[in-house]
Amino acid sequence: MQIFLTFDYELFFGDQPGSVKKCMISPTNRLLKIAKHTDCKYTFFVDAGYLLKLESYKLTFPNLSKDLNLIKDQIHDIIEQGHDIQLHIHPHWEKSFYDRNGWHMNTQKFYKLHDFSDQEIDDIVTRYKSYLEELIHRNIHAFRAGGWCIQPFDRLMDTFKKNGIRYDTSVIFNAKMTSGSYSFDFTKAPDKDVYSFENDVLINKKDSFFTEIPISSRKYSPFFYWCLYALGRINPSAHKMVGDGVFMSQPGRKKQVLFNSVWNHVSCDGYYSSVLKKSKTELSSRGFDKMVVIGHPKGMTEYSFKKLKSFIHSPSNKNSFITFDSLK
Ligand SMILES: [Zn+2]
């Protein structure tokens, strides 16, 4: 099995974005340490819009200039240690501003690329990608949509082709969320670990320009979510997220998952990491040869660092880890 350990490298969004040190720098350093002296390489999907926003403020706000330098240094460490950097887009940064009170983000009206005009979409994708490429001195060819909002894909298709973005990893088979700022419905996605597509991420069209390598998904029972929520209260030292911000709200979500089985991503964030090993077995039995794990440095907990470490160091996963960069 080929295993992609992927991390969305970003702050939180909304009213409590958290700090660069706690959401990005220190948890990422811990992740790098876990992979050191192993054959495990990660793919970091970097929120390029945030970095460009910091660039625009660096002369006005010394604290933001400091944050930017910390991030750039870390990205260089990531590359130097053989890990991969690819493109993640949260376009709400275009409409965000900073003042003495912190960040002001409009994630209601401008959360996904589709909330912008075709010309703006082309400009955002082109600018973000080339900024990252200049930073890492490498080409980028893989993408993950902010909040998994990749649909409808036909509005992104032309600029992705023009920019040579051939791989997408935003789809979560059978997952659906259309509340709050989120808007995706993958219930009709192909039940596959890799497929090619053209203008619709849900339609497998042979020999097309784009390749989808979906984020692996599985069915979670309500019991799983009762544990997830309870453990955070019972044992916060092991189960509290290291990031000091708050995930954007998903109205109605908690009630839904506590009373119904739901399909969701395979992840190394928090308590999700408890089923990493089990998920691999399940995927194998579905005939899959690829496993894509999503995580966020900000969403790690003491518990999930431990679980991830044992997953990476497990002899049965030796030589299994692969990055998007290594795909040609
Ligand atoms: Zn993100």
Return the structure tokens found at 294.
């999503």
* Per-residue pLDDT band at 284 (split at 50, 70, 90): very high
CA of 292 to the centre of ligand 1 (A): 16
Mean per-residue pLDDT for 187-207?
97
In Å, what is the CA distance from 3 to each residue of 41, 164, 214, 290, 322? 10, 24, 12, 6, 6
Per-residue model confidence (pLDDT) at position 179: 80
Residue 327 forms part of a structural domain: no
* Per-residue pLDDT band at 178 (split at 50, 70, 90): confident
DSSP classification of residue 30: H
For the segment 6-18, what is each residue's pLDDT rounded down to a tens digit? Answer: 999 999 998 899 9
Per-residue model confidence (pLDDT) at position 106: 83
Parent domain of 119: 2-317
CA of 50 to the centre of ligand 1 (A): 11
Does pLDDT of 263 surpass 90? Answer: yes
Other Cβ atoms less than 10 A from the Cβ of 144: the count is: 25
Residue 324 forms part of a structural domain: no
For the segment 212-225, what is each residue's pLDDT rounded down to a tens digit? Answer: 999 999 999 999 99
Element spanning 77, H or E:
helix 62-80
CB 198 within 8 A of CB 154: no
CA of 316 to the centre of ligand 1 (A): 30
CA of 295 to the centre of ligand 1 (A): 10
CA of 88 to the centre of ligand 1 (A): 7
Q: What is the 3-state secondary structure (H, E, C) of 284-297?
A: HHCCCCEEEEEECH
Per-residue model confidence (pLDDT) at position 275: 97
CB 91 within 8 A of CB 113: yes
111: left (phi over 0), alpha (psi -120 to 50) or beta: alpha
CA of 146 to the centre of ligand 1 (A): 4
Q: How many domains does the chain have?
A: 1
CA of 47 to the centre of ligand 1 (A): 7
How far apart CA 221 and CA 311 sit, in angstroms, is 22
Does pLDDT of 309 surpass 90? Answer: yes
CA of 158 to the centre of ligand 1 (A): 22
CA of 144 to the centre of ligand 1 (A): 8
Does pLDDT of 108 surpass 90? Answer: no
For the segment 109-128, what is each residue's pLDDT rounded down to a tens digit? Answer: 899 999 999 999 999 999 99
CB 169 within 8 A of CB 292: yes
User: For residue 140, which phi and psi values (nearest 5 degrees)?
Assistant: -115, 135
Per-residue model confidence (pLDDT) at position 266: 98
CA of 312 to the centre of ligand 1 (A): 23
Residue 207 forms part of a structural domain: yes
How far apart CA 112 and CA 91 sit, in angstroms, is 6
How far apart CA 142 and CA 44 sit, in angstroms, is 11
| Dihedral sign from CA coordinates of 92, 93, 95, 99 | positive
Q: What is the mean pLDDT of the chain?
A: 96
Residue 199 three-state SS: coil
CATH number at residue 120: 3.20.20
Per-residue model confidence (pLDDT) at position 328: 84
How far apart CA 155 and CA 199 sit, in angstroms, is 8
Return the structure tokens found at 38.
């192993």
CA of 9 to the centre of ligand 1 (A): 7
Residue with tokens 């708050």: 246
Per-residue model confidence (pLDDT) at position 247: 87
CA of 191 to the centre of ligand 1 (A): 24
CA of 148 to the centre of ligand 1 (A): 8
Residues whose Cβ atom is located within 5 A of ion ligand 1: 8, 10, 146
How far apart CA 271 and CA 274 sit, in angstroms, is 6
CA of 11 to the centre of ligand 1 (A): 8
How far apart CA 252 and CA 99 sit, in angstroms, is 32
The shares of helix, strand and coil residues in the chain, as percent rounded to the nearest 5, are: 45, 20, 40
